[in-house]
């Protein structure tokens, strides 16, 4: 099945999944692959044993299937190609419309109101006497890719807004993205001006003045053009471009140099290839990493965020961010900056709000970028992947600053592609409304919130984020690493040898229980004596720590298509609760009958790993160095 471990079984195709059931009668391990997660189906030339199919998934897993009969293989290939790519305008074929977790209507509606953007704006202190809500875009009259509710400077009259929007690409005029209460400076976003070589627009200039004036402490604003300067200049030839500092008074223009979606797409392909290398040498690996340029791009995005955050928090200067259309790089830069500025966005719920606000509501083109439908391949680009990776890089640098863990980011990544929920569907708020998604699909956020225990970072220090409100990351190149959790096959195919995070989570939970017990015992608060304590562990805790880790590579949590199925799946969910596909299955059977006091279970798991590992690393190849006598 996979390139690391082969097994024999039966392949089933359903309307939504490919299901592979192993023949091994003891386990009958099942592997489910959602059709919408399939990126490509390849059929390499036939081998004597039969025909091959290679499934490449959007979460970068690769499955190889060997089918004895060539005719069957062709059939399956044709079906999979069709099923994994709904037609251009056929949202109706997407999985989220048939996906029906067992919840009633009220719950579904509630799930859509789980994230409330207006309350987030209130949280950051708007509307206030500087920023107000404008009705200009209700019914999406001014800009069809913006949300209907927008905040603009108080002094910006409707005529200025419409005037400015006519001078901006796709009508995306400057609006508020984040308001920093401590300094009253704001992060605003828009698209490039249609200036060409000499064009100017009075209303747009007034709009920028209004943005500046809405920050009482400052006498200029930064305009951050996230593109490389060369690209911005090239755009002038097409009647677009960037703000001319002679026309706009009191602005400072800054180019950041994030590359465009096409560069990013090919760069990601290269880093995926690096992750798929079978047994590269260290040199091959580092060369591949360098050649892909991927970390360079991640660094550029983070640098943009750092620049904005520094301007807002340290200098108290408002920033206007744009790129070309203002929905890819701008979104990345704004959301990274918000994450650095506001500890709220570093919590589980906060990150959901941030994505809902900067990405979903401001018209990041999810359906185009993540190929939900069979569309223009040139529109596809890993913009969101990069944002999630920026968050991951930050969480590696500040292990105590984030409430969520890597698993949360990986799960979001999966759902951006999976089309299982309606949250990430469509290209703008307007499109989502027209598709009536809230009535026909479910929202992912409330589901993730339900599972939040799995996503918690045990090291998170809430009090730290109070004292250290603004994160000031180091962006020297040596701070960046390849995100193994997403790109490395080795990591996906093997269970983490030992996960201190899971252990700590269990311990933290345990501590809370103990605390309750103590409270029950004594009925009074506890004062700890300063005594040296002997090391001891409960078997209870040990067991938990030894249990199979919840899925890190996530495909399964599919909660059935109806009740009957849901029941059947409950069994198999238990089976699938593991980093799937490649794990030696013996570990389950062992876990079941293991004695609570037997501390060797942990080791059993390890030795399972060992088998694989040493084979891939050092093992078995003594013959390589022939005796040369």
Partner 1 sequence: MELSEHIKTANVEDAVLRQPLHPAARGTLCVTGHHLLFSDREESSPQHFLLLLRNIDAIEKRMSGSSGTITIKCKDLCVLQLDIPGMEQCLNIARSIETLSCLENVSEMYPFFYRPSDQSLKDQWGLSSTEKHYSQMTDLHDRWRVSSVNRDYSVCPTYPQAVIVPKDINDEMLVKAAKFRHGGRFPVLCYYHRKNGMVIMRSSQPLTGANRKRCREDELLLQAVIDGSDKGYIIDTRSSQQAQQARMTGGGFESKSCYSCWKRLHRQVERGKALQESLIKLVEACGNDSHNMDRWLSKLENSKWLSHVQTALSTAGLLAECVERDGHSVLVHCSEGTDSTLLISTVAQLIMDPCCRTLEGFLALLEREWVQAGHPFQKRCAHSAYSHARLQQESPVFLLLLDCVWQLLHQFPLALGFSEALLLRLATEAYASSYGTFLCNSDKERSVAILSMKTLCLFQALLRPKERRCYANPLYERTELAIWPSVHPQSLQLWRGYFLRWTQQARHLEEAQEEIRNMVILWEKMFEYVCFNFFMLS
Cite the active site residues: 323
Of positions 135, 286, 462, 574, contacts partner 1 by CB under 8 A: 286
CA 584 to chain centre: 28
Of positions 104, 129, 283, 466, contacts partner 1 by CB under 8 A: 283
Residue 470 DSSP class: S
If the CB atoms of residues 255 and 449 are measured against partner 1, the closer one turns out to be 255
Of positions 87, 515, 568, 570, contacts partner 1 by CB under 8 A: 515
Site for partner 1 contains 600 (CB under 8 A): yes
Site for partner 1 contains 606 (CB under 8 A): yes
Closest CA to 322 of 420, 234, 418, 194: 194
Q: Is 155 annotated as a binding residue?
A: no
* Shortest Å distance, C-beta 426 to partner 1: 35
**Which one of 30-38, 221-229, 526-534, 587-595 is the stretch in contact with partner 1 (CB under 8 A)?**
526-534
Place of tokens 């990351």: 473
Q: How far is CA 173 from CA 41, 112, 203, 298, in A?
A: 42, 28, 11, 27
Q: For residue 132, what are the β-bridge partners?
A: 152
If the CB atoms of residues 25 and 477 are measured against partner 1, the closer one turns out to be 477
Of positions 112, 140, 220, 285, contacts partner 1 by CB under 8 A: 285
Of positions 15, 497, 570, 574, contacts partner 1 by CB under 8 A: 497
Closest CA to 317 of 414, 185, 430, 424: 185
493: Cβ contacts below 8 Å, ≥ 6 apart: 2, 4, 5, 579, 581, 582, 612
Site for partner 1 contains 467 (CB under 8 A): no
**573-576: Cβ within 8 A, 24+ apart:** 575/27, 575/29, 575/30, 576/30, 576/32, 576/551
* Cα–Cα distance for residue pair 366/422, rounded to 1 Å: 11
Q: Is 576 annotated as a binding residue?
A: no
Site for partner 1 contains 500 (CB under 8 A): yes
Site for partner 1 contains 609 (CB under 8 A): yes
Q: Is 325 annotated as a binding residue?
A: yes
User: If 0-12 CB within 10 Å is exposed, 13-18 middle and 19+ buried, where does residue 265 land?
Assistant: middle
CA 145 to chain centre: 22
Map the footprint of partner 1 across residues 532-571, applying CB under 8 A: 532-538, 542, 545
The C-alpha angle 139, 140, 143, rounded to 5 degrees, equals: 165
User: If 0-12 CB within 10 Å is exposed, 13-18 middle and 19+ buried, where does residue 626 land?
Assistant: exposed
Site for partner 1 contains 619 (CB under 8 A): yes
Closest CA to 477 of 289, 254, 337: 289
Of positions 129, 279, 466, 467, contacts partner 1 by CB under 8 A: 279
Residue 367: what are its φ and ψ, rounded to 5°? -65, -35
If the CB atoms of residues 119 and 618 are measured against partner 1, the closer one turns out to be 618
If the CB atoms of residues 179 and 404 are measured against partner 1, the closer one turns out to be 404
* Shortest Å distance, C-beta 257 to partner 1: 11
Of positions 11, 400, 565, 573, contacts partner 1 by CB under 8 A: 400
* Shortest Å distance, C-beta 471 to partner 1: 10
* Cα–Cα distance for residue pair 140/170, rounded to 1 Å: 12
If the CB atoms of residues 60 and 167 are measured against partner 1, the closer one turns out to be 60
Of positions 103, 132, 263, 507, contacts partner 1 by CB under 8 A: 507
Site for partner 1 contains 281 (CB under 8 A): yes
Residue pair 314/182 in contact (Cβ under 8 Å)? The answer is no
Residue 556 DSSP class: -
Count of residues of this chain found to bind partner 1 when the rule CB under 8 A is applied = 85
Of positions 157, 490, 566, 575, contacts partner 1 by CB under 8 A: 490
585: Cβ contacts below 8 Å, ≥ 6 apart: 24, 26, 27, 29
Site for partner 1 contains 602 (CB under 8 A): yes
**Which one of 347-355, 369-377, 527-535, 575-583 is the stretch in contact with partner 1 (CB under 8 A)?**
527-535
**Which one of 55-63, 108-116, 385-393, 602-610 is the stretch in contact with partner 1 (CB under 8 A)?**
602-610
**Which one of 9-17, 155-163, 191-199, 470-478 is the stretch in contact with partner 1 (CB under 8 A)?**
470-478
Of positions 458, 547, 560, 584, contacts partner 1 by CB under 8 A: 458
* Shortest Å distance, C-beta 324 to partner 1: 24
Binding residues: 260-261, 323-329
Binding residues for substrate: 260-261, 323-329
């Amino acid at each position: 099945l996979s390139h690391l471990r082969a097994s024999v079984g039966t392949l089933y195709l359903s309307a939504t999944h490919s299901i592979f059931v192993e023949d091994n009668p003891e386990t009958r391990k099942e592997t489910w692959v959602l059709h919408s997660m399939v990126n490509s189906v390849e059929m390499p030339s036939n081998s004597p044993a039969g025909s091959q199919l290679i499934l490449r998934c959007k979460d970068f897993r690769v499955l190889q299937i060997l089918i004895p009969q060539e005719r069957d293989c062709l059939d399956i290939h044709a079906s999979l190609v069709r099923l994994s790519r709904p037609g251009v305008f056929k949202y109706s074929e997407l999985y989220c419309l048939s996906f029906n977790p067992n919840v009633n209507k009220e719950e579904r509606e509630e799930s859509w109101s789980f994230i409330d953007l207006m309350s987030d704006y209130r949280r950051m202190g708007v509307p206030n006497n500087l920023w107000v809500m404008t009705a200009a875009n209700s019914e999406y009259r001014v800009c069809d890719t913006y949300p209907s509710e927008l905040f603009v400077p108080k002094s910006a009259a409707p005529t200025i807004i419409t005037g400015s929007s006519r001078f901006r690409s796709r009508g995306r005029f400057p609006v508020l993205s984040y308001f920093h209460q401590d300094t009253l400076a704001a992060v605003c976003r828009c698209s490039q001006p249609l200036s060409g070589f000499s064009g100017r627009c009075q209303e747009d200039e007034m709009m920028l003045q209004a943005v500046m004036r809405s920050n009482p402490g400052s006498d200029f604003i930064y305009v951050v053009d996230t593109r490389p300067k060369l690209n911005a200049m090239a755009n002038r030839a097409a009647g677009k471009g960037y703000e001319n500092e002679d026309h706009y008074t009191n602005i400072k223009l800054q180019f950041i140099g994030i590359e465009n979606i096409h560069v990013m797409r090919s760069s990601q392909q290269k880093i995926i290839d690096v992750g798929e290398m079978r047994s590269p040498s260290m040199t091959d690996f580092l060369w591949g990493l360098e050649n892909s340029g991927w970390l360079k791009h991640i660094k550029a995005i983070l640098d943009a965020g750092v620049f904005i955050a520094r301007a807002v928090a340290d200098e108290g200067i408002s920033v206007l961010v744009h790129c070309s259309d203002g929905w890819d790089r701008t979104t990345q830069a704004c959301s990274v900056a918000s994450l650095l500025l506001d500890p709220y966005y570093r919590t589980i719920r906060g990150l959901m709000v941030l994505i809902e606000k900067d990405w979903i509501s401001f018209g990041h083109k999810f359906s185009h970028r993540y190929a939900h439908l069979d569309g223009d391949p040139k529109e596809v680009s890993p913009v969101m992947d990069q944002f999630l990776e920026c968050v991951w890089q930050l969480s590696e640098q500040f292990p105590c600053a984030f409430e969520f863990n890597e698993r949360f980011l990986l799960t979001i990544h999966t759902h951006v592609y999976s089309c299982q929920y309606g949250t990430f569907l469509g290209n703008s708020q307007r499109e989502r409304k027209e598709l009536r998604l809230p009535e026909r699909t479910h929202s992912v956020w409330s589901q993730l919130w339900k599972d939040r225990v799995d996503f918690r970072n045990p090291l998170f220090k809430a009090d730290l984020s109070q004292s250290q409100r603004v994160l000031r990351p180091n962006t020297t190149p040596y701070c960046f690493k390849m995100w193994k959790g997403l790109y490395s096959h080795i990591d996906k195919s093997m269970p983490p040898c030992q996960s201190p995070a899971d252990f700590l989570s269990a311990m933290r939970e345990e501590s809370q229980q103990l605390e309750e017990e103590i409270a029950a015992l004594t009925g009074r608060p506890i004062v700890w004596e300063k005594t040296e304590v002997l090391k001891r562990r409960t078997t209870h805790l040990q067991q938990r720590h030894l249990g199979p880790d919840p899925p890190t590579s996530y495909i399964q949590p599919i909660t059935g298509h109806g009740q009957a199925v849901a029941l059947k799946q409950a069994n198999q969910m238990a089976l699938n609760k593991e980093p799937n596909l490649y794990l030696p299955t013996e570990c389950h059977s062992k876990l079941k009958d293991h004695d609570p006091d037997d501390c060797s279970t942990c080791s059993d798991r390890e030795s399972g790993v060992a088998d694989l590992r040493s084979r891939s690393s050092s093992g078995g190849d003594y013959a390589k160095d022939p005796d040369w006598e």
